[in-house]
């Protein structure tokens, strides 16, 4: 069966190549010749993936081939532009280290990371996901629920965050895990700033029996994404702003539920509608306001979607 499929695919390939060769090329080529050659070529490439045993991989490769070829045809990509593109992707790869993921950053600034988040939205009532970003460090320090995560106080405003973790119907999830990381008032994370303790503004806490959690951080500031690599060059050459809207990061998880990687955004930040990684989502924006004691506070409830029963 598989052998037959492969033979058929090879047959299709040959037929497409013959069509391609027989079409008129060069300066005399009409746009109809070119379109028909492009289609034959795409069909040959598509046929070459038809025997992929994994149906999902086959589907993804089909779509990738269609879209990339469409781009080349649509912009009439020159050899020089294609070479520059290869050089750019090579530079992106060379910039990657265990600590620096330039491909992820490229995905972020192209909005692809956020597109994957949107594609994987669980439920209209579930808290939406956002980019993880490069500053998450696993093994966050354990903190008691209600603790301050400020290990290095830079004199900025303190922000108390309070919330409840519940399911999509609002039933609290006792013992949910809330992992937080945030930047200091200068917009830098501890890994970027030797003046901060490595644990500064990081912490993993467990929600109480009513799903409630509470912590204090410094009011986050907007900041620039890393601009010292090829993605930075792309941002400059396209006159894109590198700024991220001010936010606190959270990963919230609980047994039996889909976890969520998300942000709490400051409604007063000027970059909310111009976030360089397109991660702002309306449901995640909160007004920070002073409570009766003068403490700046934000309420951020998180709703998780139940896992499908096995």
Q: Which residues bind ligand BEZ (CB under 6 A)?
A: 105, 108, 131, 133-135, 225, 244, 277
Q: Which does 106 bind (CB under 5 to 8 A by kind): Fe ion, ligand BEZ, none?
A: none
Task: Give the nearer residue to Fe ion in terms of CB position, either 248 or 254.
Answer: 248
DSSP-derived secondary structure for 41-60: HHHHHHHHTTT-SSHHHHHH
Residues 131 and 108: beta-carbon distance below 8 Å: yes
Q: Which does 108 bind (CB under 5 to 8 A by kind): ligand BEZ, Fe ion, none?
A: ligand BEZ
From 128, 129, 133, 190, residue interacting with Fe ion (rule: CB under 5 A): 133
168: which DSSP letter? T
Name the closest residue to Fe ion (Cβ).
133
DSSP-derived secondary structure for 200-257: TTEEEEE--TTSEEEEEEEPP--EEPP-SSHHHHHHHHTT---EEPPEEEEEEE-TTB
Candidates 133-141, 156-164, 252-260, 272-280: pick the segment binding Fe ion (CB under 5 A).
Answer: 133-141
Torsional sign, CA 222, 292, 208, 121: negative
In angstroms, what is the minimal distance from the CB of 268 to Fe ion? 17
Q: Which does 167 bind (CB under 5 to 8 A by kind): Fe ion, ligand BEZ, none?
A: none
Task: Give the nearer residue to ligand BEZ in terms of CB position, either 160 or 244.
Answer: 244
In angstroms, what is the minimal distance from the CB of 53 to ligand BEZ? 35
Q: What angle do CA 197, 276, 267 make, to 5 degrees?
A: 75
Distance CA 258, CA 167 (A): 10
Distances (CA, A) of 239 to 140, 183, 232, 234, 242: 36, 25, 10, 8, 9
307: which DSSP letter? P
In angstroms, what is the minimal distance from the CB of 133 to ligand BEZ? 3
CA atoms within 13 A on the CB side of 60: 5
In angstroms, what is the minimal distance from the CB of 249 to ligand BEZ? 6
Task: Give the nearer residue to ligand BEZ in terms of CB position, either 1 or 138.
Answer: 138
Task: Give the nearer residue to ligand BEZ in terms of CB position, either 277 or 302.
Answer: 277
Task: Give the nearer residue to ligand BEZ in terms of CB position, either 207 or 281.
Answer: 281
Task: Give the nearer residue to ligand BEZ in terms of CB position, either 29 or 191.
Answer: 191
Q: Which does 105 bind (CB under 5 to 8 A by kind): Fe ion, ligand BEZ, none?
A: ligand BEZ
Distance CA 242, CA 298 (A): 26
In angstroms, what is the minimal distance from the CB of 108 to ligand BEZ? 4
In angstroms, what is the minimal distance from the CB of 181 to ligand BEZ? 8
Q: Which does 134 bind (CB under 5 to 8 A by kind): Fe ion, ligand BEZ, none?
A: ligand BEZ
Q: Which helix (H) or strand (E) holds 3?
A: helix 2-22
Task: Give the nearer residue to ligand BEZ in terms of CB position, either 37 or 276.
Answer: 276
Q: What would the two tokens of residue 43 be?
A: 């069909």
Residue 129 lies near Fe ion (rule: CB under 5 A): no
Instruction: Tally Cβ neighbours within 10 Å of residue 243.
Output: 18
In angstroms, what is the minimal distance from the CB of 135 to ligand BEZ? 4
Residues forming contacts to Fe ion in the complex (CB under 5 A) are: 133
């Amino acid at each position: 069966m598989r052998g037959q499929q492969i033979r058929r695919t090879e047959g299709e390939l040959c037929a497409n190549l013959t069509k391609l060769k027989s079409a008129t090329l060069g300066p005399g080529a009409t746009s109809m010749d070119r379109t028909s050659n492009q289609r034959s070529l795409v069909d040959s490439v598509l046929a070459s993936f038809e025997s992929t045993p994994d149906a999902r991989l086959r589907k993804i490769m089909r779509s990738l081939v269609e879209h990339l070829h469409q781009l080349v045809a649509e912009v009439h990509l020159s050899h020089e532009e294609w070479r520059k593109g290869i050089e750019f992707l090579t530079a992106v790869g060379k910039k990657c280290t265990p600590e620096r993921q330039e491909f992820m950053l490229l995905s972020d600034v192209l909005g692809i990371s956020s597109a994957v988040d949107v594609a994987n939205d669980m439920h209209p009532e579930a808290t939406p996901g956002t980019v993880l970003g490069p500053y998450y460090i696993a093994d966050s320090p354990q903190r008691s629920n209600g603790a301050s995560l400020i290990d290095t106080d830079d004199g900025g405003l303190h922000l108390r965050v309070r919330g409840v973790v519940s399911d999509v119907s609002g039933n609290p999830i006792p013992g949910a895990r809330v992992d937080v990381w945030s930047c200091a008032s200068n917009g830098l994370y501890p890994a970027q700033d030797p003046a901060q303790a490595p644990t500064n503004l990081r912490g993993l806490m467990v929600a109480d029996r009513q799903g409630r959690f509470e912590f204090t951080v410094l009011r986050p500031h907007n900041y620039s994404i890393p601009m010292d690599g090829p993605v930075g060059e792309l941002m400059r050459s396209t006159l894109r702003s590198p700024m991220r809207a001010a936010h606190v990061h959270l990963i919230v998880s609980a047994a039996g539920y889909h976890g969520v990687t998300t942000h709490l955004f400051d409604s007063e930040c000027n970059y909310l509608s111009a976030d360089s990684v397109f991660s702002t989502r309306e449901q995640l924006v909160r007004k920070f306001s002073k409570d009766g004691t003068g403490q700046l506070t934000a309420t951020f409830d998180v709703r998780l979607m139940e896992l499908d029963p096995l």
